[in-house]
């Protein structure tokens, strides 16, 4: 088994997946070491050491980060079956310059009614970045094969959903 190389900065390749997917799963730790995982569609790259998301309705994640700042985020391309994992420490901003800059950032990304909806801005300082790769690649599948397979799968799923019952 190969050990994934640990990176400290968010590379352009990792940034591209985060920008494209517009969805990351944020794991935090709650009281009693209870794990908490929830999706964030606003997850974005702030700079090469920070991710950011808008807290629109994330009371659990925010509460956890305030008590125990460690997090892990996974962002995966469901077609290519590749992605990135990020670990580090998170901080919650409810007011001040970072909060205002964050709200402007999400307004720029067309988050509707951002000033009213954003409860807080969560800045995630990244200290570990590693790729996530489906074992299908180790089994010999190519990116092109997987792309074709999963597009077909999702197209079929979509077709079935729109079929009258
Ligand atoms: C696809 C998707 C994207 C979401 N994006 C966000 C988001 O960017 N920010 C947010 O606060 N909540 C977002 N949510 C809602 C939270 O994930 C949801 O309210 C969750 O229950 C919060 O859990 P938590 O309090 O443990 O963080 C999203 C939910 C889904 C299904």
* Helix, strand and coil percent figures for the chain, each rounded to 5: 35, 35, 30
Rounded Cα distance between 3 and 9, Å, is 18
Ligand 1 atom, smallest distance to 38 CA: 17
**pLDDT confidence of residue 165:** 73
> Closest ligand 1 atom, CA of 60?
25
Separation CA 128–CA 87 (nearest Å): 5
- Which of 22, 27, 56, 58 maximizes ligand 1 atoms within 8 Å of its Cβ, making it the mutation to test the pocket? 58
pLDDT, mean over the chain: 95
For residue range 111-153, list pLDDT tens digits in order: 999 999 999 999 999 999 999 999 999 999 999 999 999 999 9
Sketch the domain layout of the chain as residue ranges: 12-133, 136-165
> The whole model's pTM is what?
0.94
Ligand 1 center from residue 34 Cα (angstroms): 18
> CB within 6 Å of ligand 1 — which residues?
23, 36, 38-42, 53-61
Superfamily name with CATH number, domain 12-133: Electron Transport, Fmn-binding Protein; Chain A (2.30.110.10)
């Amino acid at each position: 088994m190969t050990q994934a190389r640990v990176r400290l900065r968010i590379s352009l390749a990792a940034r591209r997946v985060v920008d494209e997917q517009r969805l990351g799963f944020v794991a935090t730790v709650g009281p009693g070491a209870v794990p908490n995982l929830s999706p964030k569609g606003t997850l974005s790259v702030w700079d090469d050491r920070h991710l950011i998301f808008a807290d629109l309705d994330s009371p659990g994640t925010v509460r956890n980060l305030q008590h125990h700042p460690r997090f892990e985020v996974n962002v995966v391309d469901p077609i290519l079956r590749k992605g990135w994992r990020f670990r580090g420490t998170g901080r919650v901003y409810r007011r001040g310059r970072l909060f205002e800059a964050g709200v402007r950032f999400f307004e720029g990304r067309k988050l509707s009614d951002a000033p009213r909806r954003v409860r807080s801005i969560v800045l995630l300082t990244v200290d570990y970045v590693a790729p996530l790769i489906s074992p299908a690649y180790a089994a010999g599948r190519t990116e092109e094969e997987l792309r074709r397979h999963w597009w077909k799968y999702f197209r079929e799923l979509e077709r079935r959903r729109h079929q009258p019952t």
